Amino acid sequence: MSSKKPKTRASRLERLGLRSDMDFVLHLPMRYEDETRVVPIREAQFMTGSAQVEGVVMSSGIQYRPRRQLVVSIADETGELFLRFLHFYASQLKQLAVGSRVRVRGELRQGFFGGEMVHPAYRVVAEGTPLPAALTPVYPSTEGISQTQLRKEIAAAMARVNLQDTLPDTLLMHLNLPVFADAIRLLHNPPPDVDEHALAERTHPAWQRVKFDELLAQQLSMKRAHTRRRQQIAPQLSASGDVTRGLLEALPFILTAEQSRVVAEISESMQKPYPMQRLLQGDVGSGKTVVAAMAAAQAIDSGTQVAMMAPTEILADQHFQRVAEWMAPLGVDVAWLTGGMKKKDRQSVLSRIASGKARLVIGTHALIQDEVHFDSLGLVIVDEQHRFGVGQRLMLRNKGESGHDSVPHQLMMSATPIPRTLAMTYYADLDVSVINELPPGRTPVITRLIDRNRRDEVIKRIHAAALSGRQIYWVCPLIEESETLQLQTAVETHAALKEALPDLNVGLVHGRLRQAEKQAVMDAFAGGEIHLLVATTVIEVGVDVPNASLMIIEHAERFGLSQLHQLRGRVGRGDAESICLLLYQAPLGETAKQRLMTMRETSDGFAIARRDLEIRGPGEFLGARQSGVAMLRFADLQKDADLIEASQDMAQALLDEPGEAAQAIVESHLNRWLGGFEDFLKA
């Protein structure tokens, strides 16, 4: 029994991420309690928040009405106070016997019989026990680990560990930051005269130092990953050839200046002998697909194969149709691969890929399955990259390595604009290209919020709109708990709308349809045969039907901000003025209201992403659960933009500085902050 105990404790501590001494040292308080003062009981009555008082127990006993509880009265020279404990142990009865002196912390409120505290924190003390000189830290903890235990472990670790600074004085002076050891000691053990507000707000120089260090470690490790990648070998893809030129001519439009600029950036990095790793960002509808096609053309011109992966079958199919239409006439064999294919078709596609006959392969996750072998993969393109995990992206990239030393170039695309501070931290190891304008002729989408009880009115308007030649999406509510329920709603909505609009052609698309069925519906919609398309969120990303100009989203309050932005981005792609109606169910919660108002106010993807980041935090925003990005524990991407910038500059300066001194700083700093985990983080 006793041999088991340490193990459970260790595993509990591990749950808090506490293994090494440095883990404990960097386990910093989430807040502080002020136990440095004792106030007279009489005064505590007039204080808001919690107060600490000290008194002698006058009476103590179990009361049974209205329910069983331990009631203790204490008194000092100024007054009396009741303490109530609804849960208590027999030992507490003894501890709190008449005559004991106790120090009590809690919120004092007025009960029936005068001032009382319910479940206060307390400690039996001898008369004259000195008060702590510093604020008392409160640490993030977990069940079964007490604050006292944590404090003890941390103090022990502090005594053992080397707190020597990783950064030289001159740099710290330049940045106006305190030395590491002082900062850490202050945070664990703030002196009585500390600026409590700055401590709570984490603007205190000690906090600034810790955050700076954390950010610096992140920057260093990202930049090193970047450098390491430059030591890998990739096929050098020559700038242009017949396919590239032919594609430019085949396009039904001319590239915008922004698209051309980005195409050139990509082209240049693919001519290098090391693998490109580039994120192509551009708001919904900015025209990323054609940029990807241009990159693919360059790779094909150089004799390598290209893999392009999209998160949904609908999107993969759309890319395939579009790109094949452009490239097949140029003699390029374009293949398409998804999970839902018939076995025979699949086999023949696989052999075309393996033999190198298929030059461009477009598909879903099916592309990363074991049985897919490329002959010479030179470029991988991942569309809507945030929909994939790091592991999946890596698997696609690794498809190029069988039998070759060379690593393919990688182009990732995302319509989720990444706010600058996020890009500077989590994507610091990537090259980023941004398309900053939409193709010409787009009119902004008008967005209206409409109460769901006006749904009938909306249906009437749809009718008129459809008859005047518009095509319409009707997106059914998201039902998080159950896909089946979501499906059912879509089927019912489809039936109801069909009945309400008998002279319109109403289509339905959802994730459970077989691939051929999905394809048929999407083709009919793209071809203008379907007036109104009822859909689940399967159409959220990528779908491009320029003639569709009206978007209705039912129960819009259930969707996240970037989801709404993506959905709205399905319209406003053609010449017609587009409208997006967000039907909501009143009453709205506060965040839902904020989201909908943001949607109404702006169509700027960056502004929306910033709001989304504020509302959700970086973890969820990035989809960290699947991507495995290490979260910043202390730095705040919104509040600490200055520190992010400073840490980036410093990281660059340290890595650029020749000589062993700078190298040693980098090593010791990374070692302190990441321990042996650097590679793990970047895996």
Q: How far is the CB of 557 from ligand ADP (least distance, A)?
A: 25
Q: How far is the CB of 291 from ligand ADP (least distance, A)?
A: 8
Chain mean position to CA 675 = 24
Q: How far is the CB of 325 from ligand ADP (least distance, A)?
A: 11
Residue 11 corresponds to which amino acid?
Answer: S
Q: How far is the CB of 428 from ligand ADP (least distance, A)?
A: 24
Decide if residue 55 touches ligand ADP (CB under 6 A): no
Token duo for residue 552? 């209705």
Chain mean position to CA 264 = 30
Q: Is 86 exposed, middle or buried, given 0-12, 13-18 or 19+ CB atoms closer than 10 A?
A: exposed
Cβ within 8 Å of residue 480, ≥6 positions away: 558
Q: How far is the CB of 253 from ligand ADP (least distance, A)?
A: 4
Between residues 363 and 542, which has the closer beta carbon with respect to ligand ADP? 542
Q: How far is the CB of 518 from ligand ADP (least distance, A)?
A: 18
Decide if residue 563 touches ligand ADP (CB under 6 A): no
Decide if residue 263 touches ligand ADP (CB under 6 A): no
* Full DSSP string of 409-468: EEEEEESSPPPHHHHHHTTTTSEEEEE-SPPTT--PPEEEEEEGGGHHHHHHHHHHHHHT
Token duo for residue 46? 């007039």
3-state secondary structure of 363: strand
Decide if residue 243 touches ligand ADP (CB under 6 A): no
Residue whose tokens read 């007036």: 531
Single out the residue of 135, 290, 310, 552 in contact with ligand ADP (rule: CB under 6 A).
290
Between residues 235 and 542, which has the closer beta carbon with respect to Mg ion? 542
Binders of ligand ADP in range 425-444 (CB under 6 A): 439
Single out the residue of 45, 60, 244, 259 in contact with ligand ADP (rule: CB under 6 A).
259
* Residues 131/37, Cβ–Cβ less than 8 Å: yes
Q: What is the DSSP letter of 560?
A: -
Cβ within 8 Å of residue 598, ≥6 positions away: 561, 607, 608, 611
Strand partners, 122: 104
Return the one option of Mg ion, ligand ADP, none that residue 286 interacts with (CB less than 5 to 8 A, by type). ligand ADP
Return the one option of Mg ion, ligand ADP, none that residue 278 interacts with (CB less than 5 to 8 A, by type). none
Decide if residue 415 touches ligand ADP (CB under 6 A): yes
Decide if residue 409 touches ligand ADP (CB under 6 A): no
Q: How far is the CB of 413 from ligand ADP (least distance, A)?
A: 7
Report residue 582: phi and psi, to 5°: -100, 105
Return the one option of ligand ADP, Mg ion, none that residue 234 interacts with (CB less than 5 to 8 A, by type). none
Q: How far is the CB of 302 from ligand ADP (least distance, A)?
A: 23
Decide if residue 617 touches ligand ADP (CB under 6 A): no
Decide if residue 311 touches Mg ion (CB under 5 A): no
Helix-strand-coil split of the chain, %, nearest 5 = 45, 15, 35
3-state secondary structure of 618: helix
Between residues 289 and 471, which has the closer beta carbon with respect to ligand ADP? 289
Binders of ligand ADP in range 115-144 (CB under 6 A): none
Q: Which of 278, 383, 283 is nearest to 323 (CA)?
A: 383
Decide if residue 572 touches ligand ADP (CB under 6 A): no
Between residues 441 and 659, which has the closer beta carbon with respect to ligand ADP? 441
Return the one option of Mg ion, ligand ADP, none that residue 546 interacts with (CB less than 5 to 8 A, by type). ligand ADP
Between residues 117 and 415, which has the closer beta carbon with respect to ligand ADP? 415
Q: How far is the CB of 293 from Mg ion (least distance, A)?
A: 11
User: Could you give the C-alpha distances from 464 to 253, 469, 500, 578, in angstroms and in order?
Assistant: 31, 9, 13, 15
Q: How far is the CB of 431 from ligand ADP (least distance, A)?
A: 18
Return the one option of ligand ADP, Mg ion, none that residue 572 interacts with (CB less than 5 to 8 A, by type). none
Element housing 63 (H / E):
strand 50-63
Q: Which stretch binds ligand ADP (CB under 6 A): 7-15, 281-289, 346-354, 494-502?
A: 281-289
HSE-up of residue 656 (Cα within 13 Å, Cβ side): 6
* Residues 330/246, Cβ–Cβ less than 8 Å: yes
3-state secondary structure of 112: coil
Show the site string, 515-544: x = touches Mg ion by CB under 5 A, - = not. Answer: ---------------------------x--
Binders of Mg ion in range 194-233 (CB under 5 A): none
Report residue 291: phi and psi, to 5°: -65, -45
Decide if residue 285 touches ligand ADP (CB under 6 A): yes
Decide if residue 417 touches Mg ion (CB under 5 A): no
Other Cβ atoms within 10 Å of 132 Cβ, number: 13
Decide if residue 615 touches ligand ADP (CB under 6 A): no
Decide if residue 539 touches ligand ADP (CB under 6 A): no
- Using CA atoms, how far apart are residues 73 and 257, in angstroms rounded to an integer? 79
Count of residues touching ligand ADP (by CB under 6 A): 18
Binders of ligand ADP in range 368-387 (CB under 6 A): none
Other Cβ atoms within 10 Å of 323 Cβ, number: 24
Q: Which stretch binds ligand ADP (CB under 6 A): 94-102, 155-163, 540-548, 646-654?
A: 540-548
Between residues 161 and 284, which has the closer beta carbon with respect to ligand ADP? 284
Q: How many Å from the N-terminal Cα to the C-terminal Cα in the chain? A: 39
Decide if residue 284 touches ligand ADP (CB under 6 A): yes
Q: Which of 299, 292, 309 is nearest to 234 (CA)?
A: 299
Between residues 440 and 676, which has the closer beta carbon with respect to ligand ADP? 440
Report the DSSP pairing between strands 80-85 and 69-75: antiparallel
Q: Give the binding site for ligand ADP (CB under 6 A).
A: 253, 255-256, 259, 282, 284-290, 415, 439, 542, 544, 546, 573
